[in-house]
Amino acid sequence: MTAESGDRASAVADARQPDGSSPRITSLAFLTPGNYPDDDPYSGLEETLSLFELGERLGFDGGWIRQRHLEHGVSSAAVFLAAATQRTRRIELGTAVIPIGYESPFRLAEDLATVDVLARGRLQPGFSAGMPPHADLMGDLVFDGDWRSYDLSYGRIARLVEVLRGGYLGDEDTLIHSPGNVQRPRQQPHAPGLADRVWYGGGSLRSVRWAAESGLNLLTGNVINGEVINGEVVDGEGLDGGGLDGAGTDDFVTAQLAAIREYRRLLAPGRPGRIALGRVIVPFDGADRATRDRYRAYAASRYERTLKAHGERRILFAVDLVGDAEQIVEQLLSDAAVAAVSELRIELPYEFDRADYEQILRDVATLVAPALGWRPATDRAEPGPGAPPAPASSPSATSSPSGTSATSAGSGGALRHD
């Protein structure tokens, strides 16, 4: 760290918790879209793998990948993260999110379990339910028959979670015979604990309730339905848990706090129930003037959408946090939803380039997150999640060719992180 960056870090640290309260953020992750040029997907995917390596070196606790279809981004999160398992050794590897509607729950469970075994227990798979994006274009290519009548709701995630739990198929006398082997049948490989690391991207109170009642972890980002409980945000007592989707609100933080509190209210006793909160955070302390101007233009182009609720579901968008680290820290410290959680996920913008993403991660790790009480995983005494000895054949971190069982219910309220 240079003297100048050290001075900035000290100034930002001085702004931390003026009331003397204890540290807030204990886990820091990033979410990236995995962009690439249409005519050169290799370079973009390789650069994204390198970003996961950088995140691990900077001490991030998790690296998450978006899954998008028909776009120049990662279309198979499981395949991408299988590669990431061989480039990292400590950082959690997450998906945010896989639209379950296009997937076979059993087959996807096999893929995810394989990734988790390769990661030695670091996978954090996140899902959404309901009619998946671009179904009008992809439906006839993915499904047989009248796919518009298919149940693409929470039940598909429930089935996947049940498969991941590793129960045997058939009765206790059911065996399968394969060359050189006789065994009881179940999904293979079995990845112990993976079923308890499943996340749901909840954008509505209905989906948040389902996630809590199903024992899933909760992803809540910068897009949410404008709902509160009975018109107010309250803690626990007096909440109507019966099927109401909530009264309307135009305030993003109010709606997100309602979701967080409702999730915790319904979570089964003894179930930890992790909550990861996402914000688009773009510090520009380490950027040059032209890049700062580009970042400001990006934020300005998206600001108008934050001023009102959109559509029948009253979709609300959080304001992007773009500026110097001290300004961003001040905004985060005043954000009641951020104060309600201990896990923060940095949602990297679409269509930025490699240098932008690297600069943002460095500034967040050195200037923003420490002011929220976070310490790099590399500085902590305790080991990171599932941290095995690094394989001798693993690539160098600097080498790069290019510079509780779930229950079935209806669909609704899947969160889209933008």
Residue 177 neighbours by CB under 8 Å, 6+ apart: none
Write out the two tokens for 292.
Answer: 């700062």
Give the dihedral of Cα atoms 108, 111, 114, 119; nearest 10 deg.
-90
- Residue closest to 219 by CA, chosen among 373, 56, 29: 29
Of the listed ranges 186-195, 241-250, 334-343, 368-377, the one predicted with least confidence = 241-250
Cis check for the bond before 132: say yes or no (omega within 30 of 0): no
For β-strands 315-317 and 275-279, DSSP reports them as unpaired
Encode burial over 323-351: b for 16+ CB neighbours within 10 A, e otherwise.
Answer: bbbbebbbebbebebbbbbbbbbbbbbbe
What average pLDDT does the structure give for the chain? 86
Mean pLDDT of 43-64: 98
Q: Residue 263 has what pLDDT?
A: 97
> What angle separates helix 105-119 from helix 77-85, to the nearest 10 degrees?
10
Mean pLDDT of 86-112: 97
Q: Which has the higher per-residue pLDDT, 14 or 200? A: 200
Instruction: Report the C-alpha gap between 91 and 278 in whole angstroms.
Output: 17
Instruction: Report the C-alpha gap between 267 and 231 in whole angstroms.
Output: 22
pLDDT digits (tens, 9 = 90+) for 387-408: 444 444 444 333 333 334 444 4
Q: Residue 6 has what pLDDT?
A: 52
Write out the two tokens for 198.
Answer: 């499943």
Residue range 3-169+185-379 in CATH 3.20.20.30: yes
Q: Residue 19 has what pLDDT?
A: 46
Residue 2 confidence (pLDDT) above 60: no
Q: What residues does each domain of the chain span?
A: 3-169+185-379
Q: Residue 418 has what pLDDT?
A: 62
Q: How many helices (H) and strands (E) does the chain have?
A: 12, 16
Of the listed ranges 88-92, 280-284, 312-316, the one predicted with least confidence = 312-316
- Residue closest to 123 by CA, chosen among 194, 220, 50: 194
Contact 49, 87 (CB under 8 A): yes
pLDDT digits (tens, 9 = 90+) for 248-286: 889 999 999 999 999 999 999 988 899 999 999 999 999
Question: Could you give the percent of the chain with pLDDT greater than 70?
Answer: 81
Mean pLDDT of 308-325: 95
Of the listed ranges 216-220, 247-251, 279-283, 355-359, the one predicted with least confidence = 247-251
Instruction: Report the C-alpha gap between 80 and 75 in whole angstroms.
Output: 9
